[in-house]
């Protein structure tokens, strides 16, 4: 059987694969999930998926670079990780190395993402050492 840490890592990898699975969040978040965007504004999973499905947004690459911290208890967990994200919005190219933090909750025996926050721009990976 997979450990709690392995199950949370699988959720992170599933989320990171947005170029292939834009609707991953819908079935993998808690009912009260919110994400804090770099602007500081919260958004629901449905709102994020709507953004990912917008014709003006073309996700070319979304891959996990490194999980910097992952802590798991019996019914909650926390992770901080970096994604490499290449996308264009209305034709404007973006090439980001973004830091994410997520809080996870185990609901009826299943791990779900409860909270997410994304940085903007480029992360200095050396700060994680």
Residue ranges of the domains in the chain? 4-122
Residue 100 makes CB contacts below 8 A (sequence gap 6+) with 79, 80, 81, 82, 83, 116, 117, 118, 119
Residue 53 makes CB contacts below 8 A (sequence gap 6+) with 22, 23
86-97: per-residue pLDDT in tens?
Answer: 888 899 998 888
27-76: per-residue pLDDT in tens?
Answer: 999 999 999 998 899 999 999 999 888 888 888 888 999 999 999 999 99
Tell me the pTM: 0.89
Whether 1 has a pLDDT exceeding 50, the answer reads no
Fold of 4-122: Nuclear Transport Factor 2; Chain: A, (3.10.450)
Q: Average model confidence (pLDDT) for the chain?
A: 90
Mean local confidence (pLDDT), 107-115? 97
For residue 68, how many other CB atoms are within 10 A of its CB?
17
E-strand stretches of 1-129 = 29-36, 42-43, 57-72, 76-89, 92-107, 110-118
For residue 13, give the DSSP letter: H
């Amino acid at each position: 059987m997979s450990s709690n840490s392995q199950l949370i890592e699988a959720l992170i990898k599933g989320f990171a694969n947005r170029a292939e699975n834009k609707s991953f969040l819908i079935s993998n978040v808690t009912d009260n999930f919110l994400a804090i965007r770099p602007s500081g504004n919260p958004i629901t999973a449905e709102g994020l998926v709507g953004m990912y499905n917008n014709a003006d947004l073309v996700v070319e690459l979304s891959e996990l670079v490194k999980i910097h911290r992952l802590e798991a208890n019996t019914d909650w967990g926390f992770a901080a990780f970096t994604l490499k994200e290449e996308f264009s919005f209305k034709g404007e190219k973006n090439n980001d190395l973004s830091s994410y933090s997520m809080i996870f909750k185990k609901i009826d025996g299943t791990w779900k993402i409860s909270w997410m926050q994304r940085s903007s721009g480029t992360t200095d990976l050396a700060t994680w050492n």
